Structure formats: C-alpha cells, structure tokens
Structure 1
Amino acid sequence: MTTQVTGLDGWTPEELAVPGAERPVVTAPHAVLSRAGAEVDPTSDEVVRLAADLIATMRVSPGCVGLAAPQIGVNAQVFAVDVTGHPKSVTVHGTFVLCNARVVEASRWKAGREGCMSVPDLTGDVKRAGRLVVEGTLPGTDRTVRLATDGFEARALQHEIDHCAGLLFLDRVAGAHAIYQRKVYL
C-alpha cells in the first residue's frame, strides 16, 4: 500500500520506541561510501535501531540536515533527513527516516552548493531537482509513503539517496572547477 502524503502523518522518531546511539561518521575514501546499499526489511528490529542511531547521530552533529546508513559504516538503503530551522528551507517535513527510497518524479533542475560530513574539507556545486517526489518505507512499518517536496529539502533527499546508491556529491559535480575548500569559521 502506498500513501500520498504532504507530511509524514504524525510519524516521529520517538515512535520508533528505541533509543538511538551516536555512531562515528566515516569519511571518504572509506569503501562503504562507494558501494550501493542493500535493500532492507523496514520492519526488522535491526533497521529500527539503525533509524534511531541515524537520528541520534544527526542531532549531535551541528549543521547536519541528513545522514545515510553508509555514512555510519552500514551498507543499507536507510537515511534520515531534517531540514527544520535551516535558513534555505521552505518546505519542511520535520525529522523522518526512509528505507529503500527512490525518486519517482524530478523537475526544475538547479545547481547549488553542497557539503557532506563524509567529505569534511570540501564543498561542491551540484545540479539537483528543485521539485521532487520520493517513495520509501517508514522504519518499523511496511507502509510505503510518497513524499512531495521542493527546494532545500529536495536537495537533501537526493543527497541521501545518492549515499544509499554509493555516490558522493563529488560524483555529481561538473568538474574540478566546481569543487571548493570548505570555509572554516572560528
């Protein structure tokens, strides 16, 4: 069953009923970052714990708006997103985790600057869809949702879906001229 949603119908990380643990974030060139993640059974206890760990790790990482399982060393198609409070966000669905997500519609392509916790020293200009529809399954359920979004949240979703496919933002830049040293603010 697929449900069309504009939000996630009240689903919250707390409904996972599993405390999350902060996990270390792996950085390039770690091999797990370049392998396509395995599809998962969203109803498994292991995936529910993974979802909780992704959220816990995101919450202690300043500026983090998304985190995928490969970034914590797990070869799986699971990611968390929360763009709440980010200055570039217009459409916001709050904190959510999707399993086995895929893009079903993409339009209004535009280049924008991206960074990544797994590539801490660089940013890059990446062309992404500004409007997006994604299907995925909520952890702890067999419920597939269809999520429509745009702008910064759409960019974050595509970035995390790429991680689950074994791609970094560096794989999407137009060339070396579109990669920049990350600015450090003291």
Structure 2
Amino acid sequence: MSDALQDWTPEALGEGGVRPVVAAPDPVLSRPSAEVDPTDPEVVRLAADLVATMRVSPGCVGLAAPQVGVAAQLFAVDVTGHPKAVTVHGVFALCNAKIIEASRLRPGREGCMSVPDLTGDVKRASRLVVEGTLPGTGALVRLSTDAFEARALQHEIDHCAGLLFLDRVAGAHAIYPRKVYL
C-alpha cells in the first residue's frame, strides 16, 4: 500500500489556489468532519488548495480542510527540512485518515495557524501507523512514521475530528504565548 504514496505527487492534483485560514473559535474547527470521496473533483481541488496554502505559509508543516473552512476529512502534510523530523515522506495529502497503531507518548510543543497567538505542550505518540486514501487516485496507503512527522499527522487528524491542540494540553500551565521573530 505504501508504494502508492511513493508514486503520488502533489502536482497530480493540479495547481491549487491559496485559501484564507480560519481561526478559533470558528465553529468548523470544533465539529467532526465528514468522510470524503477521494476521487471527487472538488476534493482533489481542495487537496491542491491545501498544498498551495501550506507552501506560502512560513513554518507550516500541515493543513487540514477545516482550517480553510471546509468540514472534510482531508489534510496535507510536509515536514521536509524540519529539524525535528526523522522520517520524512515528503509532501502528501490524505483523505479519511485513521490511526492504526500509536506508541511511545512524548510531550512536545505545538502551534497552529488556526490558533495564531498560542503554542502548547501536547503528549503525542512518537511512533505511528496511519491509513488513508490519496486524493485523485483513491489509492489506500498505510504509512509508518515517527518523531515530528508522527506529531504532524496526529495534529491534522485531530483537526478532522474537530479537535485543536488546545483540547490536548494538560491545562493552562501548558499554554504559552507564541514567540514572534522579527
């Protein structure tokens, strides 16, 4: 199944447009999203838009459909070049993703484009197996990952379930103002 991801490229989606990112407390961020047909042309276009929006957003390593106002189980991830990344699958999008296996909970700092002024410490699995379908082809993929890419996938899957990283922090003591670098 993972061969399908190796053969897939975001260029197969077509050219995407940049969409505005919604911020909390927008209600689309707090309700579970519907499963999608990965071969639906609207879903393919949305996937291309997620990749395009992610690429023009400094520091962005993942973006889910709810973050652009669409209640759909679809997200894009790319941790390429991130210093905390160990396993890197490059840029990819997944529909209807599910966590199959998760182990080794570790705390880590997270931020989010939909919560632009805060970061927080969240415990997430550092080893992960995820299944989902590729937009466009509809191919089922199963990928194993770890470290930062595992954290990014869990963060985006949470968005599709109507959860923000703020829902996962241990309490107010684990939330911090985002540092702004000029």
TM-score per shorter chain, which class? over 0.9
For residues 79-94 of structure 1, the aligned pairs below 5 Å read: 79-94=75-90
CA shift for structure 1 position 15? 1.4
Structure 1 gap ranges (5+)? none
CA drift at 1:8 = 1.7
- Report if aligned partners of 2:98, 2:132 keep a CA contact under 8 Å in 1: yes
Distance 1:143 1:21 in 2: 24
Say if 1:6 and 1:148, in contact at 8 Å, map to a contact too.
Answer: no
Evaluate the alpha carbon distance shift between residue 89 and residue 35 of structure 1 in structure 2; reply closer, same or farther with a 3 A threshold: same
Structure 1 partner of 2:137 = 141
Aligned AA (1:10): D
Code of the aligned partner of 2:176: Y
Q: 1:62 aligns with which of 52, 58, 61?
A: 58
Identity rate, percent: 79
In 2, Cα distance between the equivalents of 1:7 and 1:122?
Answer: 36
For 1:101, the equivalent position in structure 2 comes to: 97
Instruction: Answer yes or no: is the 8 Å Cα contact 2:4–2:141 preserved in 1.
Output: no
Tell me the CA shift for residue 61 of structure 1: 0.1
CA contact (8 A) 2:21 2:68 kept: yes
Superposed CA RMSD: 1.0
For residue 92 of structure 1, give the secondary structure of its aligned residue in structure 2. Answer: coil
After TM superposition, list the pairs within 5 Å mapping 1:25-174 onto structure 2: 25-174=21-170
Please tell me whether the aligned partners of residues 7 and 147 of structure 1 are also in contact (alpha carbons under 8 angstroms).
no
**Residue deviations 1:71-105 (CA, integer Å, cap 9, x gap):** 00000000000000111111100000000000000
Aligned to 2:8: 11
Q: What amino acid sits opposite 1:79 in the alignment?
A: F
Q: CA deviation at 1:142?
A: 2.4
Check 1:174–1:6 CA distance in 2 against 1; reply closer, same or farther (3 A cut): farther
Q: Secondary structure at the match of 1:62?
A: coil
Moved over 2 A (4+): none
In structure 1, the residue matched to 2:18 is 22
Query: Under a length normalisation based on structure 2, what TM-score does the superposition of the two structures give?
Result: 0.98
Q: How many angstroms apart in 1 are the aligned matches of 2:181 and 2:53?
A: 22
* Partner SS, residue 102 of structure 1: strand
